[in-house]
Amino acid sequence: MDLSEGKHQFIQAWGTLGTSWGINKAMAQIHAVLLLAEKPLSTEDIMEALQISRGNANMNVRNLMDWGIVNKVLVPGERKEYFATGKDIWALARQVTVERKKREIEPILKVLGQMKNVEGEESEALEEFRQVTKDIEDFTIKVDNVLDKFYKSDKNWFLKLLMKM
């Protein structure tokens, strides 16, 4: 396999993986293109690499910026906007963790906290509701704590922990 084919396969695979993170395929593919880029890329460069529209490229680059994994880069003498991403996969994983916590864990914890106030005539259904929501809340808090430890940990500690599993 030559470099061009390898890049193409990586971009496709990263796009598929991105959907597991909760981002769309085009967004992940743009991230992959930026990961493999040797220098910051313009919107036109991204459009050409992926054969996508300007609107699709612009919208997804902005979303990647919202996730904190793509940055706008000033290129001296250029009027176009250029974009780049960090190459440190550990930092990327930590940033994705922060965003997923903010978008998924924190909202459900808020809702589950409100479920403690559910009232009604004491019944088997009410007791079951309370138990299920409490169990989900307990589990979610544990997941949140693990994610906090992951975010605050250094790479070596986490990899040692992972190897023990």
Alpha-carbon distance of 97 to 22, in angstroms, equals: 11
pTM of the entire structure?
A: 0.80
Residue with tokens 């440190």: 88
pLDDT by residue, tens only, the chain of 165 residues = 999 999 999 999 999 998 887 789 999 999 999 999 999 999 999 999 999 999 999 999 999 999 999 999 999 999 999 999 999 988 888 888 888 899 999 999 999 999 888 888 888 988 999 999 999 999 999 999 988 887 787 766 666 655 665
Contacts of 23 (CB under 8 A, 6+ apart): 63, 67
The single-letter DSSP state of residue 73 is E
Alpha-carbon distance of 52 to 137, in angstroms, equals: 41
Please give the helix or strand (H or E) that residue 55 lies within, else none.
Answer: helix 54-66
